[in-house]
Chains A and B, each alone.
Chain A
Amino acid sequence: KAGVTQTPRYLIKTRGQQVTLSCSPISGHRSVSWYQQTPGQGLQFLFEYFSETQRNKGNFPGRFSGRQFSNSRSEMNVSTLELGDSALYLCASSLSGTALYEQYFGPGTRLTVT
C-alpha cells in the first residue's frame, strides 16, 4: 500500500508570494491533517479535513487555508508569505478523524521563504 505523498518536497518562495502544497493520503483514508514544524515551535496543528469538510483548526492566521477533494487529496495554501512561514509542512492521513486511528505522516514539504 502506498504511503502518504506530498508534493513538492522542496520549495523556495519570496515574501509576499503565495504557495500551494499538496498531500495525497493513503488509499481509503478520509482524514487529512496538516502541521507546521519549526525548530523553535515544534509541530503545530494547522487544520484537519474529513470528507471534504474542515473538522478542526489550529491557531494560525487566515493566510493559511486548505481544502480537501472528493478523492481525499488535500491542498494547503499560504498567501502573502512571510519569512516566518519557512518550515517543514507535514500532512498526515488516517482512516477517521479521531485519535483512535493511527496517523500516517508524509515526508513533508520544506518551504523556504526569502
Chain B
Amino acid sequence: AQSVTQLDSQVPVFEEAPVELRCNYSSSVSVYLFWYVQYPNQGLQLLLKYLSGSTLVKGINGFEAEFNKSQTSFHLRKPSVHISDTAEYFCAVSAPEERDDKIIFGKGTRLHILP
C-alpha cells in the first residue's frame, strides 16, 4: 500500500522569499505524484503532477516540484511567494499498476505568508 508524509504541518515564510514544502512517499511499485492546493473555503485544485518522464515538473502559479526516486520525495518549491499563495497544500500519491489505484493524500501543509 502507498502512503505519503508531509513533514511540516505549517510553514511560515516572508513575502517574496522562496519556499519548499516537503513530501515523502512510500510505495513498492511505481507511482504517480500530485500536489493540490486548497484556498480558504474552497475545494482542492491541482497544482502539478508527475506521471513519468522529466523529474522536474512545472505547475500553475509558478510552482514546481522534483521527483526524486532514490529519496522517495516530491518536494514543492516556489522561488518567490506572494500573499495570495496563503493556502493549504496537499501532496498525494497513487499507484497506477495496482488494481486499487485510488489517490492517497498527505495531511497537508499550511503555508503562511508573512508581510
Contact = CB atoms under 8 A, between A and B. Distances in A.
Q: Kindly state the interface size class of chain B when it binds its partner.
A: 20 to 34
Given A42-B108, A43-B105, A45-B104, A102 B46 contact: yes
B103 A99 contact: yes
Given A42-B90, A90-B44, A107-B41, A99 B104 contact: no
Interface in B74-115: 90, 94, 96, 100-108
30 contacts: A33-B102, A33-B103, A41-B107, A42-B90, A42-B105, A42-B106, A42-B107, A42-B108, A43-B105, A43-B108, A44-B105, A45-B102, A45-B103, A48-B102, A56-B102, A58-B102, A90-B43, A92-B44, A98-B96, A99-B34, A99-B96, A99-B101, A100-B32, A102-B46, A103-B103, A105-B43, A105-B44, A106-B43, A107-B42, A107-B43
